[in-house]
Structure 1
Amino acid sequence: MKKLMLAAVAASMVAAPTIASAAPQGYRVVKERPNRTVIVDRGRGYRERTVIRHNNNRQWNNRQWARGQRFDRRYANNYRQIDYRSYRNRGVYAPPRGYQWVQSGNDAVLVALASGLIGAVIGGAIR
């Protein structure tokens, strides 16, 4: 009985690699990353292909700022600090203490220096 059991265990150990080799050789791995998909085909010839997808529907390109929002300069289109004196005739006034005027697209945005909150937005002030 012991010899029969040992023979069965030995036969299963010898047959195990042949069962694993019967599995399909090539497989595909897909890695999703922001704006990129990496496709790896593994099989006879190792191949890696990167597909870059750009998201052209970015919401922040045409961002509509509103009072009370937190201003983040990464989302501002052509961000720069502006001098209120050069745009005085378009409604931009002297900023209160702790605020500054910045440009986001064609808008003038009054931003608090400490917190980044928006105090006022003047649309179309900068042309």
Structure 2
Amino acid sequence: MKKFILSALAVTLVASPLLAAAPAEAQQRREVTTVRHNDNGRTVVTKKTVTRAPQYRNWRAGQQFDRRQAQNYRVITTYKTYRLAAPPRGSQWVRSGNDALLINGRGNVVQVRGGAFR
């Protein structure tokens, strides 16, 4: 009985990350089936997978930053090249699309410089 409980616990620990990742993947992809009837009486079934592009955000100061919602995310280390001030201790400049965002240590957006990378 003890071995059965331990093996069931091990299976749930291994399978839980797989089950948690499935809904996020399901939102991005879906299968579309189209059924069409020709004039000659034949039925044509077409299946295709539709992938939805992720939704990107327009950032504002005070918002919680999530790099998964940032388009073309990169950490900016050469901030002087883009005429950005040196970030305070614990903060960093990141790129989201054509915007430069100053992110503090807690992950909040402190400042947004729109169009810094044109």
* Same fold flag (TM > 0.5): yes
Unaligned runs of 5+ in 2: 1-25, 34-45
Deviation at residue 81 of structure 1 after TM alignment: 1.2
Deviation at residue 73 of structure 1 after TM alignment: 1.0
Measured on the aligned residues, the alpha-carbon RMSD in Å equals 2.1
In 2: Cα distance, 1:78 partner to 1:53 partner: 22
In 2: Cα distance, 1:93 partner to 1:104 partner: 17
**Secondary structure of the corresponding residue to residue 61 of structure 2:** coil
Q: What is the aligned counterpart of 1:37 among 24, 27, 31?
A: 31
Number of aligned positions between the proteins? 79
The amino acid of 2:103's aligned partner reads V
Q: What is the aligned counterpart of 1:59 among 55, 58, 65?
A: 55
Unaligned runs of 5+ in 1: 1-32, 40-48
**Secondary structure of the corresponding residue to residue 121 of structure 1:** strand
Are 1:76 and 2:70 an aligned pair? yes
TM-score by length of 2: 0.58
Q: What is the aligned counterpart of 1:119 among 101, 104, 110?
A: 110
Deviation at residue 50 of structure 1 after TM alignment: 5.9
Contact 1:36 1:50 in 2 (8 A): no
Question: Percent identical across equivalent pairs?
Answer: 49
Partner of 1:105: 97
